[in-house]
Amino acid sequence: MTAQAGTVGRAGPAGHKRRYKGTDAVIVDLWFLAIAAPAVVFAGISKGGFGSGAAFAAAMVLALVIPPHFALGVMLPLLMLMDAATLRPFWGKWNRQAAGLLILGGVPGVILGVGVYRMVDQDAIRLMIGGIALGFSVWKLLEGRGWISPPRRALPRHLGFVAGIAAGFTSFVSHAGGPPVAVYLLSQRLGKSEFQATTVLVFWAINLVKFLPYAGLGFFSVQTGFANLVLAPFALLGVYLGVRAHHLMPERLFFAVTYALLIATGTKLIWDGGQGMLG
């Protein structure tokens, strides 16, 4: 099962390494599925049960084997499918005021992301995505050690709008809008299910806003559409497992694996981006 486009050089199975000439190469084969399917299930679990905190790791992993903009393009329809599947079990449980502020801020954040993307090349995007991955991991490590902590008081409403801008921007460039949303919502002292429901609603809206700019920038192709069809069952499986795990699975273990994955993929993307810009 293979779908491809563009001029592609690829090492044999032993090397598992792909090099792209240009930015129009996507291959859907067994090696791609071996990497993408677990990543998408992982993202679905995070989306379905843990506030989307790990969902963007899937795009990081895909960016190791396909061009970064196509990695984002493959993941967006899958994330939208996950959003739709997750809305139902958490329907109406969100905090309307917090969700409204974050969504209003998310729109200009996405517009800012479009402007930045137009000014940089693929290696710079690799560096940006890798930097966000490492920054997110360091932030969570410091939080886990108690060196930083969520705000003790509810943040003022205008900071909800600012958090939405940050979420829209980072979501556009790497599907990594979780941290600013989490900081604001944690300050509101929401219950676990209210926090999850609000996060789901916010990123459902932001992902809808991102779709047309992604299409206009060429993030989608026939090959990414084929990848979406193949990976859709894995996305739904992840959401199902995530919703079931919402009350059962230890978050500490889940996110420990996530941060290790993000550190590894972030470092690799920074290395590849740096080599590309220097070479």
Mean pLDDT for 15-39 is: 67
Residue 20 confidence class, pLDDT cut points 50, 70, 90: very low
pLDDT in tens, 199-243: 889 999 999 999 999 999 989 989 899 999 999 999 999 988 887
Q: Please, are residues 187 and 151 in contact by the beta-carbon 8 Å criterion?
A: yes
Highest mean pLDDT among 22-26, 55-59, 122-126, 165-169: 165-169
Query: Which span out of 5-19, 96-110, 261-275 was modeled with the highest average pLDDT?
Result: 96-110
**Is a pLDDT exceeding 80 seen at residue 3?**
no
Percent of the chain with pLDDT over 90: 25
Average pLDDT over residues 20-37: 71
Q: Which helix (H) or strand (E) holds 82?
A: helix 68-87
Are residues 1 and 30 in contact, defined by beta-carbon separation less than 8 angstroms? yes
CA–CA separation, 131 and 152 (whole Å)? 28
Kindly tell me if the per-residue pLDDT of 4 is higher than 60. Answer: no
The two three-digit tokens of residue 192, written as one number: 């676990």
Among candidates 158, 202, 204, 212, which has minimal Cα distance to 179?
Answer: 202
* Mean pLDDT lowest among 38-42, 68-72, 99-103, 172-176: 172-176
pLDDT band, very low/low/confident/very high, at 52 (cuts 50, 70, 90): low
Biggest CA–CA distance in the chain, Å, is 55
Spatial distance between the Cα atoms of 167 and 184, rounded to a whole number of angstroms: 11
The answer to whether 18 and 44 are in contact (CB under 8 A) is no
Above 50 in pLDDT, residue 22?
no
Lowest mean pLDDT among 36-40, 153-157, 213-217: 153-157
pTM for this entry: 0.74
C-alpha–C-alpha distance, residues 151 and 174, integer Å: 25
Task: Take residue 70 and report the two structure tokens written for it.
Answer: 């196509």
| Measured CA distances, 117 to 38, 124, 277 (Å) | 28, 9, 16
Sequence spans of domains, the chain? 7-278
Distance CA 207, CA 106 (A): 10
